[in-house]
Amino acid sequence: MFTGIVTDIGEVLSRERRAEGLARLTIGCTYGRDTITIGASIACSGICLTVVGIGNQQGWTTFEADAAAETLAVTTAGQWREGTRVNLEQSLKLGGELGGHLVTGHVDGVAEIIAREDLPDMARLAVRAPAELSRFIAVKGSVALDGVSLTVNAVERDTFSVLVIPHTLKATTFGTLAKGSSVNLEVDLMARYAARLMDR
């Protein structure tokens, strides 16, 4: 589990094709090497990936993770190349601060930034969600975009908007988001289960 509070911005240093559609990603970060263990989970732009290797490269602490064919197909990871910057969050430790909301790292789909308005103290992003996910998004509810916990400000059909504060713009990859950017979307966990119960 994660909280949607990004603690580092990493960089994809290499991507190696593996058998059966797997991609082995090497990601550089500023986490201390002793804080990462083999088998640990790290959210990479909202995608929960398992650490399979640890090292040092180009002045970075590095970790390796495998992205499966399904992950590459349904998230933005399929577009990641050397130099791609990714939001990072290590998994929530029992008793740790829950600063955002409960995030699983299981991306529901890819959303598109359809407008960005830079305001004096923040930015407003208009986001189009995949139509099948729009029913899970509500005003004042939570979403995770590229692993960042955000509060929904307005909803109209399959489009919603969020406000991003200056700290988040600096501490995440959101500073470079623009109209047409694709982002990983995870809907609120409780909304997903509530909808499932209603369907039954």
Using an 8 Å Cβ cutoff, are 109 and 185 in contact? yes
pLDDT at 90 over 90: yes
* CA neighbor of 10 nearest in space, from 52, 46, 34, 37: 46
Residues 6+ apart with CB under 8 A from 165: 121, 122
User: 14-50 pLDDT, tens per residue?
Assistant: 999 988 889 999 999 999 999 999 999 999 999 999 9
Among residues of the chain, what percentage have pLDDT more than 90? 83
- Top-level CATH class of 8-90? mainly beta
pTM: 0.93
State the pLDDT confidence band at 70, using cuts at 50, 70 and 90: very high
If residue 198 lies in a helix (H) or strand (E), which one and from where to where? Answer: helix 189-199
Domains 8-90 and 109-199 share a fold: yes
- pLDDT at res. 92: 87
State the pLDDT confidence band at 89, using cuts at 50, 70 and 90: very high
pLDDT at 79 over 90: yes
State the pLDDT confidence band at 93, using cuts at 50, 70 and 90: confident
pLDDT at 96 over 80: no
User: 179-192 pLDDT, tens per residue?
Assistant: 999 999 999 988 87
Map out the domains of the chain as residue ranges: 8-90, 109-199
List phi, psi (to 5°) of 73: -80, -35
User: 98-156 pLDDT, tens per residue?
Assistant: 777 889 999 999 999 999 999 988 999 999 999 999 999 999 999 999 999 999 999 99
**Separation between Cα atoms, residue 154 and residue 108, nearest integer Å:** 20
Using an 8 Å Cβ cutoff, are 61 and 32 in contact? yes
Which CATH architecture describes the domain 109-199? Beta Barrel (2.40)
59 residue type, one letter: G
